[in-house]
Amino acid sequence: MSEYVMLIVGVLAGLAVGYFIGQSLMKKKVQDHEGIAKKEAEKIIKEAEQTGESIKRDKKLEAKEHFLKLKSDFEEDSSKKKNIILQNEQKVKQMQNQAAQMLEKNKREQSEIQSLKDKLGHQLEIASKRKEEAEKMHQQQVEQLESISGLSAEQAKEQLINALRAEAESKASAIVKQSIEEAKLSATKEAKKIVIQTIQRTAAEQAIENCVSVFNIESDEIKGKIIGREGRNIRALEAATGAEIIVDDTPEAIVISSFDPVRREVTRLSLHRLVQDGRIHPARIEEVVNKTRKEINNEIIEIGERTVLDLGIHGLHPELIKLVGRMRFRSSYGQNLLQHSREVAKLCATMAAEMGFNVKLAKRAGLLHDIGKVYQEESDLPHAILGMELAKKYKEHTDVCNAIGAHHDEIEMTSLISPIIQVCDAISGSRPGARREMMNSYVQRLQDLEDLALAFEGVEKCYAIQAGRELRVIVDAENVNDEKAGMLSFNISQKIEKEMQYPGQIKVTVIREMRSVAYAK
């Protein structure tokens, strides 16, 4: 037990001694580390001070260099500005010198102008005196001439003016006649060639229609079925078609009357189907008429498509194609409008090819030139202007639109094909037998033609012959000489062009006949 206690005491004593030794050793080690750290810190502080001094010196050098650079730039800029100021001062001095010279020059010029004014005033006074003297001398001469000739100055002037006017009119007539003859020599040959070739190369069909159609029937029994009980069938047919049906004593025939060819055709075809079917009553009539009207509309479209295909015209709007088809059922002065338009299109194409113009546009304009005549809606516009508006609406070429609108001179011609359309329209309409006019309008046109020529001074008689295509004017031989006769024919033709509407052309012939009569007794 005692040994065990002694051992424990020995161990505790050893531990205490080891602890004190370890503390001392640790303290010494810490002191050693502190010394080292202090030395390191002193070394770092010293290096930092050295580095700071170096940076300070560098910054001073940089600041000094920057200052020197700024100073140099400032001095250079100041030097430039100083030079500019010196130059401006020199320019100002030069301008001042120039202004002084100009002022001196102006003074000299003013003095010279004043002297010239003085001289001019003196000369004006002399000229005024001389003018007064000249007027006095002129008045004396005029009085002497009046006393010698027995005429006043105004009378002499009037005689001189009349003589000069007569001479001028004579020369003008000669010049006009010479110009016309030269134009005829240079242009008539080629124009005739083109027109004749165009007409000869175009095969024209003649189709004359009127306002009535005749529907043939086999017997009067069928006529009674068409009339119906108390006329109900014929009234239903007239109400459905809008055409007038005339049933008279004419055997085996019924007359269909309407100004609209489409209505007449619808009525004719409807009657044909009703007669074939045998069932004729108001309900059946209305059904057949509606069906026929649809078929006619389809036929109109087919006719338009076939026409543009035959003529080789592409890209035409469907509405314009439909209007072209409607031309088949419309006539103008007895001439079928579709045949007329096809003929004009072919003439235009031929003439445009001869003259080197656009053939496609000319043919297109020729086909559409009368499109305004078949427009269904009512309008107060002339058919040429209405056709032009329709062409513009459906995006046709501007040359085509102008040709349509100008073919009756309602608007100014602005394209080269416009006069071609006008000429070909006149060629197609003026062919013998192509058109028929109403008797009253025909007689009135001839009367107006004669009255127009009789209004000219010196005309004694006037006769319209050859269906109004030639006007023969007989003048007073004593008052109208040969030169005035040529001028008179020209003036009459110009007035006819301005004031009258006519197909083709009118030849104006002035006849001057001198008769001397003596009696032997």
pLDDT single digits (tens) 461-497:
887 876 677 888 888 878 888 778 888 888 888 888 8
Based on the domain organization, do 283 and 378 belong to the same domain? yes
Based on the domain organization, do 457 and 353 belong to the same domain? no
pLDDT single digits (tens) 32-45:
777 787 888 788 88
Flag whether 108 is in a domain.
Answer: no
Distances (CA, A) of 459 to 189, 193, 472: 32, 36, 11
pLDDT single digits (tens) 153-167:
676 677 667 767 766
Contact 231, 245 (CB under 8 A): no
Q: Could you tell me the residue range of the domain that residue 497 belongs to?
A: 439-512
Based on the domain organization, do 372 and 479 belong to the same domain? no
* Percentage of the chain modeled with pLDDT above 70: 80
Flag whether 151 is in a domain.
Answer: no
Based on the domain organization, do 189 and 221 belong to the same domain? no
Flag whether 207 is in a domain.
Answer: no
Cα separation, 462 vs 224, whole angstroms = 58
Based on the domain organization, do 392 and 455 belong to the same domain? no
DSSP3 helix / strand / coil % (the chain, rounded to 5):
70, 5, 20
Flag whether 505 is in a domain.
Answer: yes
Based on the domain organization, do 426 and 315 belong to the same domain? yes
Based on the domain organization, do 301 and 335 belong to the same domain? yes
Tell me, what CATH number does 483's domain have?
3.30.300.20
User: What SS3 string covers 27-87?
Assistant: HHHHHHHHHHHHHHHHHHHHHHHHHHHHHHHHHHHHHHHHHHHHHHHHHHHHHHHHHHHHH
Give me the sign of the Cα torsion angle 374, 375, 376, 380.
negative
Higher pLDDT, 166 or 291: 291
Based on the domain organization, do 451 and 476 belong to the same domain? yes
Contact 335, 439 (CB under 8 A): no
pTM above threshold 0.75: no
Based on the domain organization, do 399 and 468 belong to the same domain? no
Q: Could you give the number of structural domains in the chain?
A: 4
Tell me, what CATH number does 371's domain have?
1.10.3210
Flag whether 17 is in a domain.
Answer: no
